[in-house]
């Protein structure tokens, strides 16, 4: 893609720069207006939370909106690329500019070149943002919401105070903590099983487990039982320090976890969760694959928008925008259905993340072949 992009830039002419300038100007203006509206709506919804936090204006900006704005922009980035393309291309079609371009001998594919270049530019920008910038922004937003907004919810507070944790430590060791408190880093009873084949070779139980100041787990009221065939050795200890391969932060059920990890961190986290046999891994995998798939979505929606809006029709921009919103709504529906089928069913996460792109690739090819040239 980079080589094609470079070649296209080298061969671009005045008409290409004209279209590309309109494309990027319309997009950034639209995303700016939407960001302002989104911030105003968000402020109105969270005014009480901001007052309760007792933070000044500057701290609210740096500790929340520095994270919120990149998050909301990345969330709707492909749709606003699509809307921007339809809007300015429809205006060009209404003024017969596209007819003049094609009538001058420019081929239909050649006319689409600046859209391809603009789409690649924005797709590359979104890809880099999804891998590193947006996760860092979500850390800022998530930390603020967890402390000042979710903490005000009685439901979330109750959920945090009563968790049962089950984990796979390694390929033959399993453990569980009943009633784990993520705030106090304490829970119990605790159990640990070591398995060899189909037999349990060691069983450890204790009344309580908590994260100690020595940066290790402390167990209280321990009963350890080891099995060797029909023989059993039992040992009791009042307390013991143990080092497990999980930390208190790993036991925290943070709904923002997958959003706050950069892509390398997310890859490592997925491998660790697979080793532990954790539930909900498909959510993590969909997030991972979608960070790449969304960038291709930008390129596909750019081309679809140009093809749809490039035809001059009675009704002008209104008809094009209506068609555009219908296509955008269809994309959102397909995206949500594929996600549900993966998280609640057996659909592979990679397929779920790429299904919308595959469908819209077919749509783009059909529209391109039927477009008047």
Instruction: Please write the tens of the pLDDT for every residue from 220-261.
Output: 999 999 888 778 888 888 888 888 877 777 776 566 678 888
More confident residue, 20 or 343: 20
Cis peptide before 13 (omega within 30 of 0): no
- What residue ranges in 40-172 does DSSP mark as E strands? 163-170
Query: Where residue 315 falls among pLDDT bands split at 50, 70, 90?
Result: low
Q: Are residues 36 and 118 in the same domain?
A: yes
Is the pLDDT assigned to residue 106 strictly greater than 70?
Answer: yes
The domain containing residue 210 runs over which residues?
Answer: 183-251
Longest Cα–Cα distance in the chain: 92
- pLDDT above 70 for 158: no
Evaluate whether residue 49 is within a structural domain.
Answer: yes
User: CA 327, 260, 62 angle in degrees (round to 5)?
Assistant: 100
**Co-location of 17 and 110 in the same domain:** yes
Calpha distance 25→36 (Å, rounded): 17
Query: Does residue 70 carry a pLDDT above 90?
Result: yes
Residues 7 and 91 in one domain: yes
Lookup result for tokens 């950034």 = 28
Kindly state the tokens that stand for 107: 């081929």
Report residue 151 CA to chain centroid gap.
23
Percent of the chain past pLDDT 90, that is, above it, reads: 27
Report the range out of 8-22, 93-107, 153-167, 349-363 with the highest average pLDDT: 349-363
Q: Answer with the one of 235, 251, 267 that is the final residue of a domain.
A: 251
- In terms of domains, do 97 and 137 share one? yes
Confidence of residue 153 (pLDDT cuts 50, 70, 90): very low
Same domain, 245 and 355: no
Q: Is 260 part of a structural domain of the chain?
A: no
Strand pairing report for 217-228 and 231-242:
antiparallel
Check residue 128 and give its pLDDT: 94
The answer to whether residues 72 and 123 belong to one domain is: yes
Same domain, 191 and 86: no
* Mean pLDDT in residue range 211-222: 86
pLDDT given for residue 160 in this prediction: 44
* 47 alpha-carbon distance from chain centroid: 26
Summarised one tens digit per residue, pLDDT across range 320-342 is: 777 777 887 888 788 888 888 88
In whole angstroms, what is the distance from residue 119 CA to residue 306 CA? 11
Quote the number of domains for the chain. 2
Instruction: Note whether 54 and 189 are same-domain residues.
Output: no
Residue 169 domain flag:
no
Q: What is the mean pLDDT of the chain?
A: 83
Q: Would you say residue 369 has pLDDT above 60?
A: yes
- Note whether 6 and 85 are same-domain residues: yes
95's CB contacts (< 8 A; 6+ apart) are none
Are 216 and 286 members of one domain?
A: no
Higher confidence at residue 362 or residue 282? 362
The rounded distance, in Å, linking the Cα atoms of 54 and 44 is 16
pLDDT at 316: 61
**Closest Cα to residue 288, out of 266, 257, 311?**
266
Task: Give the separation between CA 104 and CA 205, rounded to whole angstroms.
Answer: 82
Residue 161 confidence (pLDDT): 44
Taking alpha carbons only, the member of 139, 140, 160 closest to residue 150 is: 160
pLDDT for the residue numbered 212: 84
- For residue 206, give both structure tokens: 């204790």
Question: Tell me, what's the pLDDT at 162?
Answer: 46
Of 251, 268, 295, which residue is a domain's last? 251
Tell me the pLDDT tens digit for each residue of 13-57.
Answer: 788 898 999 999 999 999 999 999 999 999 998 888 888 888 888
Strand partners for 239: 220
Q: What's the mean pLDDT in 206-226?
A: 88
Instruction: Examine the fold and report which residue of 205, 233, 251 is the final residue of a domain before the chain moves on.
Output: 251
Residue 133's pLDDT is what?
93
| Tokens standing for residue 263 | 């892509």
């Amino acid at each position: 893609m980079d080589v094609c992009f470079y070649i296209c830039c080298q061969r671009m002419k005045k008409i290409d720069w004209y279209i590309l300038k309109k494309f990027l100007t319309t997009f950034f203006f639209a995303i700016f207006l939407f960001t302002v509206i989104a911030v105003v709506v968000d402020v109105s919804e969270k005014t009480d939370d901001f007052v309760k936090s007792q933070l000044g204006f500057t701290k609210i900006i740096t500790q929340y909106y520095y994270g919120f704005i990149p998050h909301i922009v990345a969330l709707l980035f492909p749709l606003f690329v699509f809307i921007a393309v339809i809007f300015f291309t429809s205006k060009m079609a209404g003024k017969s500019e596209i007819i003049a371009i094609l009538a001058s001998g420019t081929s239909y594919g050649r006319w689409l070149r600046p859209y391809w270049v603009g789409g690649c530019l924005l797709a590359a920008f979104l890809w880099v943002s999804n891998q590193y910038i947006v996760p860092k922004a979500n850390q800022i937003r998530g930390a603020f919401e967890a402390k000042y907004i979710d903490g005000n919810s009685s439901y979330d507070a109750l959920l945090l105070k009563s968790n049962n944790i089950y984990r796979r430590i390694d390929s033959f060791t399993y453990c569980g903590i009943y009633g784990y408190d993520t705030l106090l880093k304490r829970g119990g009873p605790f159990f640990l099983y070591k398995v060899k084949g189909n037999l349990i070779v060691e069983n450890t139980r204790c009344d309580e487990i908590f994260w100690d100041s020595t940066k290790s787990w402390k167990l209280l009221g321990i009963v350890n039982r080891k099995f060797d065939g029909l023989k059993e050795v039992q040992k009791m200890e009042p307390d013991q320090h143990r080092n497990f391969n999980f930390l208190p932060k790993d036991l925290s059920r943070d709904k923002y976890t997958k959003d706050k990890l950069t892509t390398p961190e997310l890859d490592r986290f997925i491998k660790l969760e697979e080793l532990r046999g954790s539930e909900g891994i498909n959510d993590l995998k969909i997030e991972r694959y979608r960070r790449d798939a969304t960038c291709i979505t930008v390129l596909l929606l750019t081309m679809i928008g140009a093809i749809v809006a490039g035809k001059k029709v009675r009704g002008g921009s209104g008809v094009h925008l209506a068609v555009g919103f219908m296509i955008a709504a269809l994309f959102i529906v397909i995206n949500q259905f594929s996600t549900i089928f993966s998280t609640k069913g057996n659909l592979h996460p990679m397929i779920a993340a790429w299904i919308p792109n595959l469908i819209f690739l077919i749509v783009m090819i059909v529209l391109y072949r039927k477009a008047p040239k």
